[in-house]
Amino acid sequence: DAGVIQSPRHEVTEMGQEVTLRCKPISGHDYLFWYRQTMMRGLELLIYFNNNVPIDDSGMPEDRFSAKMPNASFSTLKIQPSEPRDSAVYFCASSLARVLLSSGNTIYFGEGSWLTVV
């Protein structure tokens, strides 16, 4: 299996520009998560989807952030307009359905998108 695939791996953008991060979850996984990692705040859950439907977006920091999952194999996280404090590593992760998680299956992370806003 190819694992969770994220793009771009690295992006440097100017303040005020729109940033779109992309994620392809592992085929067959029902859940998709977006996390943000910074030195100061560690790993924070931003939003997660179940069967393409957003379940909890309480971690999305502001209205400048939005996420979509138009189908089972693709999700985007958009920041518009971007600010320097958005600089972080953004991880996408996916997992199997709830009942299988109870059996010990794990949540798989992508390689991350390293975002720098200058």
Stretch of 18-26, 39-47, 65-73, 75-83 lying at the interface with other proteins (CB under 8 A): 39-47
Determine the size of the site formed for other proteins (CB under 8 A).
Answer: 29
CA quadruple 2, 24, 39, 64: dihedral, nearest 10: 170
> Rule CB under 8 A: is residue 99 a binding residue for other proteins?
yes
> Rule CB under 8 A: is residue 65 a binding residue for other proteins?
no
Q: Residues 6 or more apart from 101 whose CB is under 8 A from it?
A: 95, 107
> Rule CB under 8 A: is residue 75 a binding residue for other proteins?
no
Residue 20 or 96: which CB sits closer to other proteins?
Answer: 96
What tokens does 18 get?
């729109």
Question: In a 10 Å sphere around its CB, with 0-12 CB exposed, 13-18 middle and 19+ buried, how is residue 67 labelled?
Answer: buried
Residue 44 or 76: which CB sits closer to other proteins?
Answer: 44
Residue 10 or 15: which CB sits closer to other proteins?
Answer: 10
